[in-house]
Structure 1
Amino acid sequence: MRILVLHGVNLNMFGKRDPSQYGTATLADIDAALKKLAKELDVTVECFQTNHEGEMVERIHKALGEGINAVVINAGAWTHYSYALADALAILPVPVVEVHMSNVHAREAFRHHSVLAPVCAGSVCGFGVESYLLGLRAAQTLVIKDAK
């Protein structure tokens, strides 16, 4: 099973950006935790981060022909306005799980709405790095469920 983890805009700044919201883990720490859990779950994880919306869309398009079984995405601020990402994710015939380190519902009003949510199987937020790990577990469960 292959799961693609997508990190969006500004997420390369984890560990430096607002530790009260995002903690002190770096993106490398998050990717290492994901790869460790992936090994336990017997899945392959590929992590990708970009600050360029078009590059993210291209990476999603590329996933279509790669045998990716699920996607876990933290799109950062793109979550709230990128219909381009929503449209790209909608093309994929695999489960998509949205994750966020902070509890977006306890923050500024603009963060309460996700334009990605309608094309995602579900979302996890507010648990720091654990949000990613829960998202990975959810993606694996959805793939197994769909295979039955």
Structure 2
Amino acid sequence: MTSSILVLNGPNLNLLGKRQPEIYGHATLDDVAELCRTAAGDVAVDIKQSNHEGQLVDWIHEARESAQGIVINAGAYTHTSIAILDALNAFEGPVIEVHISNVHRRESFRHHSYISARADGVIVGLGINGYAAAVRHIRDLIPTD
């Protein structure tokens, strides 16, 4: 298996750069992709976004056979999806949860994350640079043969 990292983005992240820039900044999802590919170095990065919970679950299932680690910003599903948690629990590699904003300084419903119960690390409030930190961390965990 070729070394790879799956970067998953949940609902509304396709609107990065357009939606609430005072919270999420002006960077786009394409900017996130470029940042992740640079941070990954020689490791392949597969970047996906869906507004549909089931699609995210399917991609996590597929990652069991194709990825050494997952970086996930599940958006609002972070706070609601036991299905995504269950899928992540079936994945054997490292999982890093990322949030662009500091969710702990926002509405109280954003303070709970189902994904954190599985995540090996959580990065909040670093803007899109949190993705790069997560990708670098997983890249460093992948054995080099």
- TM-score w.r.t. structure 1 length? 0.92
Counterpart for residue 119 of structure 1: 118
Quick check: 1:4–1:46 contact (8 Å CA) kept in 2? Answer: yes
Q: Give the Cα separation in 1 of the matches to 2:91 and 2:63.
A: 8
Aligned-pair CA distance for 1:7:
0.6
Quick check: 1:95–1:143 contact (8 Å CA) kept in 2? Answer: no
Counterpart for residue 63 of structure 2: 63
Counterpart for residue 89 of structure 1: 88
SS at the partner of 1:64? helix
Quick check: 2:12–2:51 contact (8 Å CA) kept in 1? Answer: yes
SS at the partner of 1:9? coil
Q: Give the Cα separation in 1 of the matches to 2:7 and 2:57.
A: 13
Counterpart for residue 79 of structure 2: 80
In the alignment, residue 59 of structure 1 is paired with which amino acid? W
Quick check: 2:123–2:130 contact (8 Å CA) kept in 1? Answer: yes
Counterpart for residue 103 of structure 1: 102
Q: Give the Cα separation in 1 of the matches to 2:142 and 2:102.
A: 26
Aligned-pair CA distance for 1:143:
3.4
In the alignment, residue 64 of structure 2 is paired with which amino acid? L
Counterpart for residue 128 of structure 2: 129
Q: Gaps (5+ residues) in structure 1?
A: none
Counterpart for residue 30 of structure 1: 32
Q: Give the Cα separation in 2 of the matches to 1:111 and 1:21.
A: 14
Q: Give the Cα separation in 2 of the matches to 1:50 and 1:44.
A: 20
Q: What do residues 4-49 of structure 1 show as CA deviations (whole Å, max 9, x unaligned)?
A: 000111100000111111000010111111112222xx21111011
- TM-score w.r.t. structure 2 length? 0.93
In the alignment, residue 60 of structure 1 is paired with which amino acid? I
SS at the partner of 1:5? strand
Identity level (%): 46
Aligned-pair CA distance for 1:141:
2.9
Quick check: 2:40–2:139 contact (8 Å CA) kept in 1? Answer: no
Quick check: 1:73–1:96 contact (8 Å CA) kept in 2? Answer: yes
How many equivalent pairs are there? Answer: 142
Q: What do residues 118-146 of structure 1 show as CA deviations (whole Å, max 9, x unaligned)?
A: 111010010101111111112223335xx
Q: What do residues 33-83 of structure 1 show as CA deviations (whole Å, max 9, x unaligned)?
A: 1112222xx2111101100101111111111122x1000000000000100
